[in-house]
Amino acid sequence: MGRMSSGPPPDLAVHPCQTLCAWSGTGERRAGKRLFACSGCGSEWVVGQGWTPADADGTVAAEVRAELDGQ
Ligand SMILES: [Zn+2]
């Protein structure tokens, strides 16, 4: 991962995404950012991780897009 200068990395679970993946906001915050979770594989994501979570069909959830637009 590239950018290490913006504070300690959040402790996120990351698993290989499966065909069931669907991302949504959890209502929680991690490292001061909205925490998103995948209901398919249990991965977690906050904005600024250098990758974008996509649902099983390849689309990026509207909530995730909004978070990316707002960073
Ligand atoms: Zn997943």
What is 20-41 written as a DSSP string? T--EEEEEEEETTEEEEEETTT
Spacing, Cα 63 to ligand 1 middle (Å): 15
Does the predicted model carry a pTM greater than 0.95? no
3-state helix, strand, coil in the chain (%, to 5): 15, 25, 65
Spacing, Cα 41 to ligand 1 middle (Å): 4
* Distance, first Cα to last Cα, the chain: 18
pLDDT, one tens digit per residue, over 6-63 is 556 678 998 877 788 999 999 999 999 999 999 999 999 999 999 999 999 999 999 9
pLDDT (0 to 100) of residue 15: 84
Spacing, Cα 56 to ligand 1 middle (Å): 8
Largest CA distance in the chain: 34
The Cα 68–Cα 50 span in angstroms is: 11
Domain ranges of the chain: 23-70
pLDDT (0 to 100) of residue 8: 60
Spacing, Cα 30 to ligand 1 middle (Å): 18
pLDDT (0 to 100) of residue 16: 78
Enter the DSSP assignment of 44.
E
